[in-house]
Amino acid sequence: MRRRYSFHLDRAGRSVTVNVRSGWITETELLVDGKEYAFHRVRGHGVYPLTLTARLPEEPAPPLSVRLERTGSAEHPLACTVDLGGTVHPAPERVGH
């Protein structure tokens, strides 16, 4: 059975979205302002923790990374944090995306 998760955060004038599609193959994409900046694909249900990084086009480019971790909870099995310019923020899971 394929599972989908989506996390979203608006911060510092940026819209950051992380989508995970998990099943026989797990695909994770990092979108910034609606544009794909990072993509990860692996066979199986994913290996966590997983960190994706992005290089934004502005100068100086602020560092951006997202980290996905297993929570151990059946209801919300993944948690996502966004590190934008050295400050880490939790990204809430979007329900009904």
Q: DSSP labels for the chain? A: --EEEEEEEEETTEEEEEEEEESSEEEEEEEETTEEEEEEEEESS--SSEEEEEE-SSSSPPEEEEEEEE-S-SSS-EEEEEEETTEEEEEPBPS--
Domain tally, the chain:
1
Q: Does residue 37 form part of some domain?
A: yes
pTM over the 0.85 mark: yes
The pLDDT score that the predictor gives to residue 70 is: 94
Q: 54 near 29, Cβ under 8 Å?
A: no
Q: Please write the tens of the pLDDT for every residue from 27-73.
A: 999 999 999 999 999 998 888 999 999 988 777 877 899 999 999 88
pLDDT at 16 over 90: yes
Return contacts of 67-76, CB within 8 angstroms, 24+ apart: 68/18, 68/20, 68/28
Q: Does residue 96 form part of some domain?
A: no
Q: Does residue 44 form part of some domain?
A: yes
Mean pLDDT over each residue of the chain, to the nearest integer: 91
pLDDT at 97 over 60: no
Residues of the domain holding 13: 3-91
Q: Please write the tens of the pLDDT for every residue from 36-47.
A: 999 999 998 888
Q: Does residue 97 form part of some domain?
A: no
